[in-house]
């Protein structure tokens, strides 16, 4: 029995050995075949330039930007590269470079472990030699074949060159972003000086770039992350003994001055950089920079040119008149969600007091003022309220801290943070008003009451359904949300108003029509993703209110002509924050939605009273008037509501003087069930007394009751 067991054991061992030998033979044969076709590492200077990615407008004829279409490189001797840049690069890229050979097996195993745990590639284990081999000779594909080639080339390079020579080749070859290759070109391009003159802080910031050149670009939107990475490098250099504590502290406190962006013939820069970021996030920077992609975007270049000129002219005017130096604009096709024009600031290249490359349209979190009001009103309509529903526009304290806040004869100078008694923009209180009048004329007190009736959480959910994703903390702004207390993005607000334009249907915003790789294969194509987010009848109510010139005339007064276009149905809403930091105008037709923001990038207030009618509306009107003839003449669909009046809900139906006298709306309805039974104890509502006592005061001065 023992002999048979040994015999079978030997057979199994022999089989495993044969399999192992076969596997080794197969791997060696595969590697030999790969090695046969690899280039000679001696030929660095003659390597083929990678194909650039080209970004076009929607016609495919106007080139907006060519990513890495030309390499900017100046090769310098190793002795002209300062020790700071060598040590900073080694610290962040390969601190064991001078100790290991071509590969760092510990780093490879560590990276594999992390990637397996994370379920995706989040960490690499490549040495500087491997990175040199990949960047000099190979494509960006993430495959086993490409990795094997990289390892073979790295081994050859280590046999051919000394460590100093490899580091020199690396620092003269590596991409630093914006078509810049090599440390000398990076120093000249981003800092305006030769590499030999780099300070420690400057060396650290340049060493931070190669990991993700587009993301960390000094000309991009991630300067804070770049600064954090620079400081991390300095911390690590201290730990490795490359610098002392004083050098680290001094260099971390330095505010670096970068050169003005000069990225060639880029068109629509804010939009184009948004497209590039999208591609980088989805396909990786290597593919975008070297993969030869052809990108057809949704941008309408003719509209974009008009938008850029309009924003520049309007921001210049605001700067002179109201100390508002910047503005932004987004135009969307509401029927498809395609972005037709986008201007993120007055001048992408301006750095003096404007920070022009910051994209306010997509990245700026700004308070929307009254432009958020339609979201609350449409939520209320869904619960059964109507445009003719009446609420009282009177001085009202909304806080339930009754000891702290007076309920009648409200002192509007009360600054207690627990008290909330909003003013109207014109400091006038109108008594009973319909929701239609309140929304069309943007009256604040009725808007806050409408939000309370609609429900804060339900209104925020409506905003989210409409594509507004930044209102995530109800406790922070409470009922002030309807006056613009929460921060939003211009591009998302334009998308939300497009839902009204399309009668309750949201089309996901898109910036890509078609994307092809270097072989002409289609990687991505526009696909209209539409979702019905509210019933049509409620969106139609908002459209009727916001498109009624006579209903909004009391608000716009002398500016009313800027809201009217002959033979065109145009709906719009304006908004201004109390401190005049942000001014908005968003308007739409069934075929076009356009939003404009005006203000300052640094959140400095504009001149007092420089609100939306003066700072944003003229820009919006100027743009619309130049392009509207390019869009079809269409009317908004009319509502067909047939619900009869409910005698138990007179204020919902528009009557506020009843047999029971004159009361606030909470006397007749339960806000949690507005179409349900009349409340037997209306005072149980925490806001009832707050709303009722001002009505009683109002009645004393209106003797006809």
- Residues 159-190 have pLDDT tens digits of 788 888 888 888 888 888 877 888 988 898 88
The tokens describing 342, both together, are 């986008």
Q: Is there a contact between 327 and 316 (Cβ–Cβ < 8 Å)? A: no
For residue 441, what pLDDT band results from cuts at 50, 70 and 90?
very high
Residue 688 has pLDDT above 50, yes or no: yes
> Does the pLDDT value for residue 46 go beyond 60?
no
**Using 50, 70 and 90 to split pLDDT, how confident is the model at 67?**
confident
Residues 652 and 690: their CA atoms lie apart, in Å, by 19
Place of tokens 């089989």: 15
**C-alpha neighbours within 13 Å on the C-beta side of residue 515:** 19
- For position 599, what pLDDT does the model report? 92
pLDDT in tens, 316-349: 999 999 999 999 999 999 999 999 999 999 998 8
Tokens of 329: 């604009």
Q: Residue 569's closest CA among 638, 626, 615, 641?
A: 638
**How large is the average pLDDT for residues 496-501?**
98
Angle CA(451)–CA(452)–CA(453) in degrees, nearest 5?
90
What pLDDT score was predicted for residue 432?
96
Q: What would the mean pLDDT of 466-479 be, rounded to a whole number?
A: 93
3-state secondary structure of 696: helix
| Main-chain dihedrals φ then ψ at residue 97, nearest 5 degrees | -55, -45
Residue whose C-alpha is closest to residue 180's, from 65, 257, 289: 289
Angle CA 299–300–303, to nearest 5:
125
Least confident of 46-50, 461-465, 474-478: 46-50
The sign of the CA dihedral 197, 203, 205, 207 is: positive
Res. 107: pLDDT tops 80 = no
Strand order in the sheet with 522-525: 63-67, 53-56, 294-297, 512-516, 522-525
The top-scoring range by mean pLDDT among 217-231, 365-379, 399-413, 644-658 is 365-379
Distance CA 373, CA 371 (A): 6
Phi, psi of 238 (to 5 degrees): -65, -45
Q: What is the pLDDT of residue 683?
A: 93
Q: For tokens 């943070």, name the residue.
A: 417
103: pLDDT strictly greater than 70: no
| Secondary structure E strands in 376-447 | 390-393, 431-434
pLDDT at residue 48, as a whole number: 45
Answer yes or no: is pLDDT of 406 > 50: yes
Mean pLDDT, the chain, whole residue set: 85
Report, as an integer, the average pLDDT of 637-649. Answer: 71
Helices 245-252 and 223-239 sit at what angle, rounded to 10 degrees? 180
pLDDT class for 144, splitting at 50, 70, 90?
low
Buried b / exposed e over 86-101, threshold 16 CB at 10 Å, is bbbbbbbbbbebeeee
Q: What pLDDT, on a 0 to 100 scale, did the predictor assign at position 158?
A: 80
What are the DSSP calls for 329-373, one per residue? EEEEETTTTEEEEEE-SS-TT--SSS-TTS-HHHH--B--GGGGH
- pLDDT band for position 122 (cuts 50, 70, 90): very low
- By CB neighbour count within 10 A (0-12 exposed, 13-18 middle, 19+ buried), where does 196 fall? middle
Q: What would the DSSP string read from start to end of 473-526?
A: -HHHHGGGGGGT-S-B-HHHHHHHHHHHHTTTEEEPPB-EEEEE-TTS-EEEE-
Lowest mean pLDDT segment, chosen from 43-57, 335-349, 541-555: 43-57
Q: Which CATH number fits domain 71-263: 1.10.3810.10, 1.10.357.10, 3.40.50.12140, 3.60.15.10?
A: 1.10.3810.10
Strands (E), 122-173: none
**Higher pLDDT among residues 540 and 105, named by residue:** 540
Question: How far is residue 225's CA from residue 550's CA, in Å, rounded to a whole number?
Answer: 50
The CA-based dihedral angle spanning residues 578, 482, 425, 600, taken in that order and rounded to the nearest 10 degrees: 30
Q: Do the domains 71-263 and 298-366+510-529+558-566+578-640 sit in the same CATH topology, yes or no?
A: no
pLDDT at 541 (0 to 100) = 97
Work out the burial of residue 66: count CB atoms within 10 Å of its CB; fewer than 13 is exposed, 13-18 middle, 19 or more buried.
Answer: middle
Structure tokens at 351: 């750095």
The fold for domain 298-366+510-529+558-566+578-640 equals: Beta-lactamase (3.40.710)
Bigger pLDDT: 44 vs 485: 485
Residues 53/67, Cβ–Cβ less than 8 Å: yes
Q: What percent of the chain has pLDDT over 70?
A: 81
Q: How far apart are CA 448 and CA 485, in angstroms?
A: 11
pLDDT recorded at residue 257: 87
Binning the chain into helix, strand and coil, the percentages to the nearest 5 are 45, 10, 40
Task: Please give the model's pTM, rounded to 2 decimal places.
Answer: 0.75
Cα–Cα separations (whole angstroms), residue 204 to 123, 200, 235, 237, 427: 21, 6, 10, 9, 56
- CA 156, CA 164: separation in Å to the nearest integer? 15
Q: Which of 177-186, 391-400, 604-613, 640-649 has the highest mean pLDDT?
A: 391-400
Q: Which of the 8 DSSP states describes residue 191?
A: I
Q: Mean pLDDT over residues 279-284, rounded? A: 92
pLDDT at 113 over 70: no
- Domain boundaries, given as residue ranges, for the chain: 1-37, 71-263, 298-366+510-529+558-566+578-640
Contact between 361 and 435 (Cβ < 8 Å): no
Q: What is the dihedral of CA 100, 102, 103, 107, to 10 degrees?
A: 60
The closest alpha carbon to 177, from 206, 138, 200, belongs to 206
Report the range of poorest mean pLDDT among 26-30, 472-476, 618-622, 651-655. Answer: 26-30
Could you tell me what percent of the chain has a pLDDT over 90? Answer: 54
Q: What is the mean pLDDT of residues 145-153?
A: 69
Q: Mind listing the pLDDT tens digit for each residue in 28-41?
A: 454 454 555 555 56
Residue range 199-218: mean pLDDT, rounded: 91
């Amino acid at each position: 029995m023992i002999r048979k067991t040994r015999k079978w054991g030997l057979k199994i061992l022999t089989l495993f050995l044969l399999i192992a030998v076969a596997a080794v033979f197969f791997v060696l044969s595969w590697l030999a075949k790969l090695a046969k076709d690899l280039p000679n590492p001696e030929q660095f200077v003659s390597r083929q330039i990678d194909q650039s990615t080209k970004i076009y407008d929607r016609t495919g004829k106007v080139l907006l930007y060519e990513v890495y279409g030309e390499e900017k490189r100046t090769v310098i001797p190793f002795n002209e590269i300062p020790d700071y840049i060598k040590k900073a690069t080694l610290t962040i890229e390969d601190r064991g470079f001078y100790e290991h050979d071509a590969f760092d097996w510990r780093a490879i195993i560590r990276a594999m472990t992390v990637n397996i745990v994370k379920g995706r590639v989040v960490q690499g284990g490549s040495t500087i030699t491997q990175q040199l081999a990949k960047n000099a000779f190979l494509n960006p594909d993430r495959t086993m074949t490409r990795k094997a080639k990289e390892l073979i080339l790295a081994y050859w390079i280590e046999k051919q060159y000394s460590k100093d020579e490899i580091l020199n080749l690396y620092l003269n070859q590596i991409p630093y972003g914006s078509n810049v290759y090599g440390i000398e070109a990076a120093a000249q391009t981003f800092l305006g000086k030769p590499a030999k003159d780099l300070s420690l802080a400057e060396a650290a910031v340049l060493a931070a770039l190669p990991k993700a050149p587009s993301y960390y670009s000094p000309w991009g939107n991630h300067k804070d992350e770049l600064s954090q990475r620079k400081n991390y490098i300095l911390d690590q250099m201290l730990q490795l003994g490359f610098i002392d504590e004083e050098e680290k502290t001094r260099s971390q406190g330095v505010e670096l001055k970068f050169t003005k962006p000069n990225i060639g013939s880029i068109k629509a820069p804010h939009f184009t950089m948004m497209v590039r970021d999208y591609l980088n996030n989805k396909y990786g920077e290597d593919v975008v920079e070297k993969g030869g992609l052809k990108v057809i975007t949704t941008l309408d270049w003719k509209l974009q040119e008009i938008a850029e000129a309009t924003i520049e002219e309007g921001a210049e005017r605001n700067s002179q008149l109201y100390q508002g130096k910047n503005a932004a604009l987004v135009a969307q096709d509401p029927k498809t969600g395609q972005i037709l024009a986008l201007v993120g600031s007055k001048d992408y290249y301006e750095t003096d007091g404007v920070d022009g490359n910051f994209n306010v349209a997509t990245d700026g979190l700004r308070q929307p003022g009254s432009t958020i009001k339609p979201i609350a009103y449409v939520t209320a309509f869904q619960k059964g309220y109507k445009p003719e529903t009446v609420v009282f526009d009177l001085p009202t304290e909304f806080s339930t801290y009754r000891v702290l806040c007076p309920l009648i004869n409200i002192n509007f100078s009360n600054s207690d943070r627990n008290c909330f008694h909003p003013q109207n923009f014109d400091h006038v209180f109108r008594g009973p008003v319909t929701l239609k009048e309140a929304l069309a004329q943007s009256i604040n007190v009725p808007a806050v009451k409408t939000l309370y009736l609609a429900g804060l959480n339900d209104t925020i959910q409506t905003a989210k359904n409409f594509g507004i994703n930044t209102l995530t903390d109800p406790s922070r702004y409470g009922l002030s949300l309807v006056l613009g207390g929460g921060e939003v993005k211009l591009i998302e607000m334009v998308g939300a108003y497009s839902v009204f334009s399309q009668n309750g249907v949201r089309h996901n915003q898109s910036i890509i029509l078609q994307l092809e790789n270097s072989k002409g294969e289609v990687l991505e194509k526009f696909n209209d993703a539409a979702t019905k987010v509210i019933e049509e009848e409620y969106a139609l109510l908002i459209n009727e209110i916001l498109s009624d010139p006579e209903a909004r005339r009391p608000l716009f007064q002398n500016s009313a002509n800027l809201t009217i276009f002959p033979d065109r149905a145009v709906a719009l809403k304006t908004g201004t924050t109390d401190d005049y930091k942000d001014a908005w105008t968003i308007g739409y037709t069934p075929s076009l939605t356009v939003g404009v923001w005006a203000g300052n990038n640094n959140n400095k207030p504009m001149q007092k009273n420089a609100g939306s009618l003066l700072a944003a509306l003229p820009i919006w009107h100027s743009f619309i008037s130049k392009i509207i003839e390019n869009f079809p003449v269409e009317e908004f669909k009319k509502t067909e509501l047939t619900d009869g009046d409910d005698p138990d809900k007179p204020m919902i139906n528009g009557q506020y003087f009843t047999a029971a006298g004159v009361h606030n709306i909470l006397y007749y309805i339960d806000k949690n069930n507005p179409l349900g039974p009349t409340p037997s104890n209306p005072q149980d509502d925490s806001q009832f007394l707050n709303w009722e006592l001002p009505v009683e005061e109002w009645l004393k001065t209106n003797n006809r009751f």
